[in-house]
Amino acid sequence: MSGICDGRVVVVTGAGRGLGRAHALAFAAEGARVVVNDLGVGLDGERGAESPAGAVVAEIRAAGGEAVAHGGDIATADGAASLVRTALETYGGLDTLVSNAGFLRDRMLVNLGEDDWDAVIRVHLKGHFLPLRHAAAYWRTEAKAGRIPQARVVHTSSGAGLLGSVGQGNYSAAKAGIVALTLVAAAELARYGVQVNAVAPAARTRMTARAFAQAMAAPATGFDAMAAENVSPLVVWLGSAASAGVTGRVFEAEGGRITVMEGWRPGPAADKGARWTPAEAGETARELLAAAEPPGAVYGA
Ligand SMILES: NC(=O)c1ccc[n+]([C@@H]2O[C@H](COP(=O)([O-])OP(=O)(O)OC[C@H]3O[C@@H](n4cnc5c(N)ncnc54)[C@H](O)[C@@H]3O)[C@@H](O)[C@H]2O)c1
């Protein structure tokens, strides 16, 4: 197998199912050697009997590619460290990290338990930070030794993190945090040859089976717009050396559509040059809001 990732070593977290599996297969098809991570948990994060990572490795090998399984929890220091170590010990390096693992515990805010908050923030936000930290430490060592890498990180956010989503306060907060982490990482790691971008995907997986029930129907046109495989080409390009110069960006990817998301930036402003009274501040805020772009609708509102 050869293509735009020839010779690269790529780690994909949560690659036993859904989007991660599609990404792992797509990277392998483009010549990458892939570390397929998956802890094997249920939809709500409860531990399953076994990791589905081995089956994806078998699929990649059957198609003539190279892959190795890693069954650790990427939201733990040990799991994240051993993930990066698996790439280094098996393939002698690491070029691309795709963080994708996660699960949901949807509840309206008034019913959202502390456990559900902690579990979802942990798997998504900490589950992005820890592998990033370990991979970045390796790339910094490489850069300091004079071997500037062409390293790539692809994070997984969500429309929920960009616009908000009713019933997903924990998930939306985690996915918004991942965008901020992406921006900081892109700025901090550029000097070591590392590019960091994020995708907000939409596809039919077990996670979205209910939300996309409509789109579960067999496609009439032959193009299955909700297939997870539609998101992977952009992820593979971002994870390849071909994406040189692209960093700190967020893309939405769904079906055949790729959208560059444009983030927070200053809108209308007023400066009194002195402290406002609350009444003045309120009047000014209303004038500024009248001149501002309205925000995008929160999903499900
Ligand atoms: N499917 C969509 O439309 C959609 C939309 C927006 C964002 N996302 C995001 O895309 C990513 C993939 O979602 P999916 O739809 O493919 O879901 P999925 O449930 O099919 O796959 C997620 C995988 O992550 C694994 N996992 C969970 N916790 C883990 C941990 N601690 N360590 C290692 N592996 C772990 C699970 O076992 C599972 O195989 C998630 O981050 C999700 O939030 C998906």
Regions of the chain where pLDDT drops below 70: 213-219
Asked whether 38 lines ligand 1 (CB < 6 A), one says: yes
Say what the pLDDT of residue 215 is: 57
Residue-wise pLDDT tens digits, 52-110: 999 999 999 999 999 999 999 999 999 999 999 999 999 999 999 999 999 999 999 99
Which of 175, 232, 240, 243 is catalytic? The answer is: 175
> Whose Cα sits closest to atom 37 in ligand 1?
40
Mutate to test the pocket of ligand 1, among 207, 216, 252, 299 (most ligand atoms within 8 A of CB): 207
**Residue labelled with tokens 């949901």:** 104
What are the structure tokens assigned to 185, written together? 């990482």
Instruction: Supply 60's token pair.
Output: 């990649």
Mutate to test the pocket of ligand 1, among 205, 210, 257 (most ligand atoms within 8 A of CB): 205
Rounded to whole angstroms, the Cα distance separating 148 from 244 reads: 13
CA 133 from chain center: how many Å?
A: 15
Q: Residue 290: inside a domain, yes or no?
A: no
- How far is residue 246's CA from residue 254's CA, in Å, rounded to a whole number? 20
In a domain, 19, yes or no: yes
According to DSSP, residue 230 is labeled G
Q: How close is the Cα of 141 to the center of ligand 1, in Å?
A: 30
- Say whether 158 is catalytic: yes
Structural domain harbouring 161: 9-261
How far apart are the C-alpha atoms of 118 and 170, rounded to whole Å? 8
* Ligand 1 centroid from CA 90, angstroms: 25
Number of domains in the chain: 1
**Residue 293 resides in a domain:** no
**Cβ-contact 197, 155 below 8 angstroms:** yes
82, 99, 158, 165: which one is catalytic? 158
Query: pTM of the full predicted structure?
Result: 0.97
In a domain, 287, yes or no: no
* CB-count exposure of residue 16 (10 Å: 0-12, 13-18, 19+): buried
Give the per-residue pLDDT at 203: 97
From the CA of 45, how far away is ligand 1's center (Å)? 10
Does residue 243 have an active-site annotation?
Answer: no
CATH of residue 238: 3.40.50.720
What radius of gyration do the chain's Cα atoms show? 20
Q: From the candidates 99, 126, 157, 171, which is the catalytic residue?
A: 171
pLDDT of residue 283: 98
Is 210 among the domain residues?
yes
